[in-house]
Chain A
C-alpha cells in the first residue's frame, strides 16, 4: 500500500505543473469571460454588473445572421475538407512510384506559417492581377477582372477555399493512416473472390473508414468553427459583414471597439456551441469505441 500511496503522490506531482498552467491560461479566462459577460467592462476604470443586458442587446437579427453564417461556412468547409481529404488519401495510398514524395508534397499548407499561406491566397484572389482572375480572363471565362474579395458571395467562398486548403493536409494524412491500418487480408480475400477495385473500395475501405471519418469531421468542425486568421487576413469580416463569423464578430466587438462586456457575451455564446460540439464528440468517440469492441 505504501508503494501505491507514493505512486499516487508522484503521479499528481507530475501532472501538477501542466494542470496549473492550463488552469491559469485557459480555465480562469474561461470563467472570467462568463463573469465579464454580465458587466459593462470597457476601457473605463469602473465596471458595473448589468445582468443580462449584454445578452439581450446582442440577440438581434444581425447576430442571428452571424450565427447562421458561421454554421453554413463551417459546414461547407468541413464537408469539402472531408471529401478532398478522402480523395487525397485514397490516391496517396495507391502503390505507384513516387508516392512518398507525393505524400510529402501535401504537407506544406499545414506546416508553413498559416499567415504566409493566407497571404499567398490573398494574391491569388487579387482581382486586377491575381492568378485565378487572370486565368479566367485568359480562357475567356470572364470578361473583366474578378475581384474575389470585394463581393459578398465570392469572398465567402474564397475564405472557405483557403480554409479547406489549410485543413486538407491533416485530414488526408489522418485518413491515409486509417486506410493503412485496415487489415490487408480483407482486400486479398475480396480480390480472390473477384471483387473489382471499386467494389473493394466501396465494401471494405469506405465502411471501415467511417469511424475515423466521423472522429475527424468532429475535430475539424471544432477547429473550423474557431477559424480566425484566414478571415481576418483576407477580409477582416467584410465586405459589409459577409464573412463575419462569430469569432470575427467577437474580436471586432471586444478588441476592435473595446466593448469587453458585450464581446464577452458573444464569446460565451461561442463557448456554449463549442461545449455542445465537445460533448457530441466525446459521446461519439465512446460509442465508436464500444461498437468496435463488440
Chain B
C-alpha cells in the first residue's frame, strides 16, 4: 500500500482530503440535514413578511409577493401586552437562573471535591429528578400553589421551573469543578484557611468561567421551557410568559399567522443574541456536559 510511506503528520492531512465526489455528497447531506432543522424558521420568516390575504390564498406561494415588515408593526397593536410577555419571560428566566445558581454552585462543589458516604446516592437522586417531568407532579404542585395562594403569580412559574433546571446544572458544573486541582485545597488548608474561606476565595474565582457557562445554559433552558407551569398555574394576562402569551394571536375566527410569526421572531431574538455572542462558551459548555469523566 502506497499509504505506508507517508509520515504521520502528513497522514492526518491526507486522511481528511476528500475527492470532489465525496465533497458534493457531504455538502448535499449537510444541506438536507440543515434544511430539516431550519425549514420551519425559513417558512416562518417568510410568513411574517406576507400580508394575511396572501397567506390565506391558494395556490401556495413560497415567496412573499410585495412582502413587508408590516406585521412586525401591527403585532404590537393587535396584542398590546406582547412587550409584557417578553418582559415576563425574561424576568422568569433571570430569577430562575439566579435561584439555580445559588443552589447549584455550592452543591456542585461539594459533589466535585468531597467523597462522603451517601453523597453518590444524593447525586443519583438529583439526576433522577430530571427524569420526572413537571407534568407528572402537576397535581400536588397545583394544590400546593393553591393552598399557599401562589396561583397566578410569578412564583408559581419560577419555583417549580427552577427545580427541573437543577440536575443538568449540577452535572455540568461538577464536571467543570472536578478539573480544579485538589492541591489548591491542600495548600489553602496548610495556610490555615477555613473550608468556607477556601471555597469563597480560592475555588469560586477559578470556577468563574464554568459558572458563566452554567448560567447561560440555565438561562436558555429556562427561557425555552416555560410552558406547562405557566399554562397550568397562571391565568392572568399580566404575568404570562411568551409561550403562553403567543396564544393571544389565535383570534376568534382565525389565527393571525403573519403576526404570530413576527412575534415569534421577536421572541426568539433574546436567545439568538445570546447564541451569537456566546457561541464560544456554548459549544464548549454543551460538549463538556456530554463527555463524562
The chain A residues found within 8 Å of chain B, CB to CB, are 3, 6-8, 10-15, 17-19, 21-22, 25-26, 28-30, 32-33, 36, 41, 84, 87-88, 91-92, 94-96, 102-117, 119-121, 123-124, 126, 128-131, 133-135, 137-138, 145, 165, 168-169, 173-174, 176-178, 180-181, 184-185, 187-188, 191-194, 197, 212, 222, 226, 228-229, 232-233, 247, 250-251, 254-255, 260, 263-264, 267, 270-271, 274, 277-278, 281-282
Interface contact B142-A255, CB-CB below 8 Å = yes
**Interface stretch among B74-82, B207-215, B261-269?**
B261-269
Dominant SS at the A interface? helix
Given contacts A113-B243, A138-B60, A271-B132, contact A15 B107 (CB under 8 A): yes
Given contacts A36-B140, A114-B225, A128-B58, contact A274 B11 (CB under 8 A): no
* Residue interface mask B161-176, A partner, CB < 8 A = 1: 0111010001000000
Q: How far is the CB of B125 from chain A (nearest CB, A)?
A: 8
CA distance A290 to B111 in the complex (A): 21
Interface contact A188-B15, CB-CB below 8 Å = yes
- CB of B139 within 8 A of chain A? yes
A193 / chain B contacts, CB cutoff of 8 Å: 1, 3
Interface contact B137-A128, CB-CB below 8 Å = no
Q: How far is the CB of B30 from chain A (nearest CB, A)?
A: 5
Given contacts A21-B163, A165-B37, contact A250 B136 (CB under 8 A): yes
What are 18 inter-chain pairs, A to B, with CB distance below 8 A? A15-B119, A18-B104, A26-B132, A26-B163, A33-B137, A108-B38, A115-B227, A115-B244, A117-B40, A119-B260, A129-B57, A137-B60, A168-B37, A180-B287, A184-B12, A254-B138, A267-B139, A270-B136
Given contacts A115-B227, A173-B290, contact A264 B246 (CB under 8 A): no
CA distance A229 to B22 in the complex (A): 40
CA distance A191 to B119 in the complex (A): 46
